[in-house]
């Protein structure tokens, strides 16, 4: 059973655009929601994370919006750059259960110059 | 400092053979995780070690998969009698202490079963 659903599968934007990637989860016990960025041939790297006690978190050009009642969260990338071209994964975990991560299927983002 | 390292980076094996994949976590990290990433898909949790506690093996897909970790150091993931559906990238991550601390991922081992 897919517990974290991510969309879209791929996304192409122009430099300076604001790509938005969406995730929906089913398990209401999840209490930690990170986003990972993965470049080809590399392992995923943590980009930004949020806990359900806040509705929004910003770090630089990256923003997570969180809607607990809808069980949805999204990643916004402001002023996107070609160097942001990568695969992005949302994930969720239950921190009291060791933080094993449940991942979405990934979004391949391309930012054209 | 040194990150999580994994070896080999690539492994090609014949169906039915056993393989061993190695993970060297960041020094001092007590928690270690193994994940599998099939082509074009997200990561699937396999197993989690925290210090000397019993590992969480709930993600292992079959009894052909096993993993060991000695103390807070190296971990080995073993796949016996490999099948073509085992072809994937196997990723290891470590964190200072679970929960509450970021998981740092290694570059992965790409396993191809022919």
Please tell me if residue A100 touches chain B, with a CB cutoff of 8 Å. Answer: yes
Is the bond preceding residue B15 a cis peptide, omega within 30 degrees? Answer: no
Comparing A20-24, A97-101, B35-39, B73-77, which segment has the lowest mean pLDDT? Answer: A97-101
Q: Evaluate if residue B30 carries a pLDDT over 80.
A: yes
Give residue-wise pLDDT tens across range A44-101. 999 999 988 899 999 999 999 999 999 999 999 999 999 999 999 999 998 766 678 8
Give residue-wise pLDDT tens across range B86-109. 999 999 999 887 666 788 999 999
Dihedral over alpha carbons B76, B94, B11, B66 (to 10 degrees):
30
**Interval B15-42 mean pLDDT:** 93
Burial of A29 (0-12, 13-18, 19+ CB in 10 A): exposed
B99 to chain A: which residues are within 8 Å by CB?
32, 93, 95-99
Give residue-wise pLDDT tens across range A1-18. 568 999 999 999 999 999
Residue B98 has a pLDDT of 63
**B57's tokens:** 């093996």
| Average pLDDT of chain A, as a whole number | 93
The C-alpha atoms of residue B52 and residue A81 are separated, in whole angstroms, by 44
Residue B71 has a pLDDT of 79
In chain A, whose CA is at the least distance from the CA of B57? A100
Interface with chain B: mutation pick from A27, A44, A96, highest number of B CBs within 10 Å:
A44
Residue B53 has a pLDDT of 85
CA A105 to chain centre: 11
Backbone dihedral angles phi then psi of residue A83, each to the nearest 5 degrees: -70, -10
**Interval B29-42 mean pLDDT:** 91
Q: How many residues are there in chain A?
A: 113
Residue B37 has a pLDDT of 94
Comparing A15-19, B6-10, B55-59, which segment has the lowest mean pLDDT? Answer: B55-59
The C-alpha atoms of residue B77 and residue B93 are separated, in whole angstroms, by 13
Residue A100 burial (CB count, 10 A)? 21
Predicted confidence band of residue B76 (pLDDT cuts 50, 70, 90): very high
């Amino acid at each position: 059973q897919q517990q974290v659903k991510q969309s879209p599968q791929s996304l192409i934007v122009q430099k300076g655009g604001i790509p938005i990637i969406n995730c929906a989860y089913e398990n209401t016990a999840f209490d930690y929601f990170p986003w990972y960025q993965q470049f080809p041939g590399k392992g995923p790297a943590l980009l930004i994370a949020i806990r359900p006690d806040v509705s929004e978190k910003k770090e630089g050009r990256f923003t997570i919006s969180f809607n607990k009642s809808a069980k949805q969260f999204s990643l916004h990338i402001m002023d996107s750059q070609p160097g942001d071209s990568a695969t992005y994964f949302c994930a969720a975990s239950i921190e009291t259960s060791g933080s094993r991560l449940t991942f979405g299927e990934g979004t391949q983002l391309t930012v054209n110059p | 400092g040194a990150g999580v390292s994994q070896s080999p980076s690539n492994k090609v094996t014949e169906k039915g053979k056993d393989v061993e994949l190695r993970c060297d976590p960041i020094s001092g990290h007590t928690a270690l995780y193994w994940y599998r990433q099939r082509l074009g898909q997200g990561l699937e949790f396999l197993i989690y070690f925290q210090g000397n506690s019993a590992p969480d093996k709930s993600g292992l897909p079959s009894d052909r998969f096993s993993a060991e970790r000695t103390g807070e150091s190296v971990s080995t993931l073993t796949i016996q009698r490999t099948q073509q559906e085992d072809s994937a990238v196997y990723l290891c991550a470590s964190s200072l202490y679970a929960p509450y601390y970021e998981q740092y991922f290694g570059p992965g081992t790409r396993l191809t079963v022919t």
